């Protein structure tokens, strides 16, 4: 598979990339680009990509993101939180930060939300110490070519930092708007979340679009949670149906810290969410959950990896999906309990509703256990709606389309209402309702 368009982008942007005058960052970018040039875009020959093909990317002539669009109403940057709620928001349009659409408010002492560009300008030494610290050795063997591409091409993103003991009660919201240009664009946001001991915050990411212009968002995020830190990390991906979305998250969870993540996918022609979590301190905990609704010829891939590295760590992972028409979904979840991780607990489950004969799911739940005193389980189910439940609703006078919609909504609602930030639940349920409203009446 050809990677030439993306390596050509680097030549066009090199002198315009932030921090191009910093020797350490230039070396990092060059190393990442060389690795990507050697490996190219992932192909289905790679075991972790056997169910997902990026060939559709080759059919779109993506350009590099140019100057940000000048006039965009704040109404085009919708919030997932109630209008009356207090929260802090950053807005990006085609990868460019828009201060005029952002509302940071007064962050409490010990909390900082800013952009990657800002940190590069004001604290390059701090960024040198943290960029790549969780995702791996920048000069090493990149196992994830898309993260290498992101490292070479990153222009902006957000940086969220909390000092020791800082508890942020109001959520942080980051909105990414795509498709604002007059041609297909590719952009590569890079995000860093660094929480000091006993700090806590809720982070909400919302990916949506301004129009139907194709675009490619390739996101890289690193999360570092020190002892006792808590991050509630929620994401709604509602990109345009002609868009492409690949996102890589690396999280390292320290002693007694919690990484609580939930992602919902409804958009993009092709999407892949790849999440790798390292439970690196005793008492570390991870909740990794998701929901997805795809139709038409959409392709949605959720690939996760959780490593229990030390004793007394725990993880829980539940993904639920609804697949209609000729859409295809992928769930690959791997939990590894390493030899020293005695007394660890790990649970994983994938449940999917297939609403048509041509809908597909490829599920690959995995457990690798090298310790002998653990409690672990995994499983995967796929099938149609419960016919008895459907018959019951029909017998109560509910038309079949409405009855099916009620069952689908109930199937997903449990996942949504289990998240800690209840303020976002109405928006997520509204997204489910909007998706259901778009289904044909002859369901």
60-108 pLDDT tens trace: 888 876 655 556 665 666 778 776 566 799 999 999 999 988 988 789 9
When pLDDT is cut at 50, 70 and 90, the band that residue 443 belongs to is: very low
- Kindly state whether residues 46 and 195 are assigned to the same domain: yes
* Helix (H) or strand (E) segment spanning residue 393: helix 387-395
In a domain, 99, yes or no: yes
Range of the domain at 412: 386-443
Please give the tally of structural domains in the chain: 2
Residue 291 in domain: no
Task: List, in sequence order, every residue forming a beta bridge with 200; answer none if it has no partner.
Answer: 167, 230
- Copy the structure tokens of residue 335: 């939990």
User: Tokens 């790798």, residue?
Assistant: 276
For the stretch 17-30, pLDDT in tens is: 899 899 999 999 99
Please report the pLDDT score of residue 140 as a whole number.
47
Q: Are 57 and 216 in contact (CB under 8 A)?
A: yes
Within a domain: residue 254?
yes
Least confident segment among 230-239, 260-269, 346-355, 432-441: 432-441
How far is Cα 241 from Cα 261, in angstroms, rounded to an integer? 24
The dihedrals phi and psi of 97, each to the nearest 5 degrees, come to -70, 135
Domain shared by 173 and 27, yes or no: yes
Q: Where are the beta strands (DSSP E) in 180-284?
A: 185-187, 190-195, 200-209, 215-225, 230-237, 244-253, 258-265, 270-279
Contact in structure between 298 and 326 (CB atoms under 8 Å): no
pTM score above 0.85: yes
Which of these three, 245, 280, 315, is where a domain ends? 280
In a domain, 225, yes or no: yes
Do 28 and 174 fall into the same domain?
A: yes
The string of pLDDT tens digits covering residues 158-193 is 999 999 999 999 999 999 999 887 789 999 999 999
What tokens were used for 356?
A: 């048509």
Tokens at 303, concatenated: 């690939």
In sequence order, the β-bridge partners of residue 288 are: 261, 317
Tell me the C-alpha distance between 97 and 190, whole Å: 12
Contact call for residues 67 and 93 (beta carbons, < 8 A): no
Dump strand ranges (E) for 37-133.
63-64, 88-93, 96-97, 111-115
Q: Are 333 and 376 in contact (CB under 8 A)?
A: no
- What b-and-e string marks burial along 215-231, b requiring 16 or more CB atoms within 10 Å of the CB? bbbbbbbbbbbbbbbbb
Q: Quick check: is 346 in a domain?
A: no
Domain boundary among 252, 280, 308: 280
Q: How high is the pLDDT of residue 441?
A: 43
Residue 141 has pLDDT above 70, yes or no: no
Q: Which residues pair with 283 in a beta bridge?
A: none
In a domain, 429, yes or no: yes
**Closest by CA position to 114, among listed 94, 93, 92, 130:** 92
Q: Which residue has the higher pLDDT, 394 or 101?
A: 394
- Residue 26 covered by a domain: yes
**CA distance linking residue 159 with residue 316, whole number of Å:** 27
Same domain, residue pair 243 and 390: no
pLDDT tens track for 222-244: 999 999 999 999 999 999 999 99
If we measure between CA atoms, which residue out of 373, 362, 259 comes closest to residue 317? 259
Looking at the domain assignment, is residue 96 inside a domain?
A: yes
Among 250, 280, 310, give the residue marking a domain's end.
Answer: 280
Alpha carbon distances (Å) from 44 to 52, 54, 290: 6, 9, 24
* Residue 421 binned pLDDT confidence (cut-offs 50, 70, 90): confident
**Tokens encoding 415:** 């996942």
Same domain, 104 and 247: yes
């Amino acid at each position: 598979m050809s990677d030439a368009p993306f390596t050509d982008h680097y030549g066009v942007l090199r002198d315009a990339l932030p921090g191009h005058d910093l020797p350490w960052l230039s070396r990092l970018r060059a190393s990442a680009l060389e690795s990507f040039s050697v490996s190219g875009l992932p192909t289905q020959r790679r075991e972790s990509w056997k169910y997902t093909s990026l060939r559709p990317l080759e059919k779109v002539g993506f350009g590099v993101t140019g100057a940000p669009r000048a006039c965009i109403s704040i109404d085009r940057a919708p919030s997932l939180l109630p209008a009356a709620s207090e929260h802090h928001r950053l807005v990006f349009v085609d990868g460019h930060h828009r201060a005029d659409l952002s509302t940071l408010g007064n962050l409490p002492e010990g909390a900082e939300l800013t952009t990657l560009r800002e940190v590069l300008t004001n604290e390059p030494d701090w960024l040198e110490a943290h960029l790549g610290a969780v995702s791996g050795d920048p000069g090493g063997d990149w196992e994830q070519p898309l993260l290498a591409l992101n490292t070479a091409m990153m222009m902006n993103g957000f940086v969220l930092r909390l000092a020791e003991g800082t508890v942020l009660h109001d959520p942080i919201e980051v909105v990414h708007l795509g498709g604002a240009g007059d041609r297909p664009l590719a952009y590569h946001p890079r995000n860093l979340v660094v929480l000091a001991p006993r700090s806590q915050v809720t982070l909400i990411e919302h990916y949506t679009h301004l129009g139907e212009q194709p675009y490619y968002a390739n996101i890289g995020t690193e999360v570092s949670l020190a002892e006792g830190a808590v991050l509630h990390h929620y994401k709604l991906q509602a990109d345009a149906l002609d868009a492409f979305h690949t996102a890589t998250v690396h999280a390292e969870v320290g002693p007694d810290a919690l990484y609580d993540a939930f992602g919902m996918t409804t958009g993009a022609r092709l999407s892949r969410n790849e999440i790798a979590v390292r439970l690196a301190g005793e008492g570390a905990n991870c909740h990794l959950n998701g929901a997805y609704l795809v139709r038409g010829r959409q392709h949605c891939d959720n690939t996760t990896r959780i490593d229990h590295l030390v004793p007394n760590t725990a993880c829980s992972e539940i993904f639920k999906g609804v697949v209609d028409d000729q859409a295809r979904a992928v769930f690959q979840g791997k939990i590894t309990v390493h030899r020293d991780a005695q007394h660890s607990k790990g649970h994983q489950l994938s449940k999917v509703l297939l609403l048509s004969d041509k809908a597909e799911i490829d599920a690959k739940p995995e457990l690798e256990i090298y310790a002998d005193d653990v409690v672990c389980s995994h499983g995967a189910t796929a099938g149609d709606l419960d016919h008895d439940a459907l018959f019951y609703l029909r017998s109560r006078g509910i038309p079949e389309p409405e009855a099916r919609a009620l069952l689908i909504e109930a199937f997903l609602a449990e996942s949504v209402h289990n998240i800690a930030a209840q303020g976002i639940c109405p928006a997520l349920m509204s997204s489910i309702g909007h998706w259901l409203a778009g289904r044909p009446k002859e369901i």
